[in-house]
Amino acid sequence: MVWDVYPTLGERRQKDGGPPFGTRDRRRLLERRARLRSNMAKGWLTFEAADGERRRLAPIPEMRGGWVKATLDQLRAWCTMANPAPHARRLIE
């Protein structure tokens, strides 16, 4: 499987500037946010194999019609180029 991911509030994470104006922060402890790598700020593709292995490719390759128009061979090539990603964390196990 492959899907695209676009980070929300990416600018907030880069600047660690707190919540958008007029919004109350839900965090109880103010701590530094995880920073997005600059190549991931505009999104990435996530590849997941049947065995659960995940890979990320950033930035999302540009092509006419978007990445969803890529051929299976192109998707396989991108998956090979992608970096291994940590296992998904579950809130409830």
**pLDDT tens profile 51-87:** 989 999 999 999 999 999 999 999 999 999 999 988 7
- Mean pLDDT, range 2-31, rounded to an integer: 64
Do the strands 2-5 and 83-84 form a parallel or antiparallel pair, or are they unpaired? unpaired
| Whether the predicted pLDDT of 14 surpasses 60 | no
Length reported for the chain: 93
Contact 45, 57 (CB under 8 A): yes
Residue whose entry in the numeric block shows the structure tokens 């299976």? 72
Tell me the pLDDT of the chain averaged across its residues: 79
pLDDT at site 67? 93
| Whether the predicted pLDDT of 13 surpasses 80 | no
